[in-house]
Amino acid sequence: MAGKIKRHLNEIISSVSNNNVILQNTTRTKLILKGLDPNNFNDNSEDDPVVLAKVLAFAKDFNVKLSD
């Protein structure tokens, strides 16, 4: 399976920023400083369970409910 990491990171950015462009950039920066750069993932990125666990933890930190 692939693409879940990118999808979840996008969900976090979209939810936290409420689609405000400035806040999208700030949220992206927060994710990078926490150790995951959304630009390093795309729809074909493998669903690495270690990275996915990080993303789920980030979603919890940001209080974002992911779609699946």
Partner 1 sequence: MSVQAVYSTNKSVKDAVKELANKIDIQNPKLILFFASSNYQPTELSSEFKNTFKSSEVIGCTTAGEIVSGKMLSNSVVAMVFDKATIGDLKVEVIENLRQNPDVDPAFKNFEIHFGESMGEMDYQKYLGLVLIDGLSGSEEKLMEMIGTRSNLNFVGGSAGDDLKFKQTFVFANGKSYTNAAVLVLLKPLADFDIIKTQSFAVMKDKFTATKVDVEKREVIEFNNMPAIEAYSKAVAKTTENASTEFMTYPFGVMVGDEPFVRSPQQVSGKGIKFYCNIVEGTELTLLRSGDIVEETKNVLAKKIAEVKKISGLINFNCILRTLELQNKNQTEAYGKLFEDIPTIGFSTYGEEYIGHINQTAVMVVFK
How far apart are CB 22 and partner 1 at their closest, in Å? 8
Question: Taking contact as CB under 8 A, which single stretch among the options 3-11, 31-39, 41-49 is the one that binds partner 1?
Answer: 31-39
Angle at 30 between CA 27 and CA 31, to 5 degrees: 90
How far apart are CB 32 and partner 1 at their closest, in Å? 5
User: Does residue 13 contact residue 28 with C-beta atoms inside 8 Å?
Assistant: yes
Instruction: Output the six-digit token pair for 4.
Output: 């879940």
Residue 23, interface with partner 1 (CB under 8 A)? yes
Residue 46, interface with partner 1 (CB under 8 A)? no
Residue 35, interface with partner 1 (CB under 8 A)? yes
HSE, CB side, 13 Å, CA atoms: give it for residue 52: 13
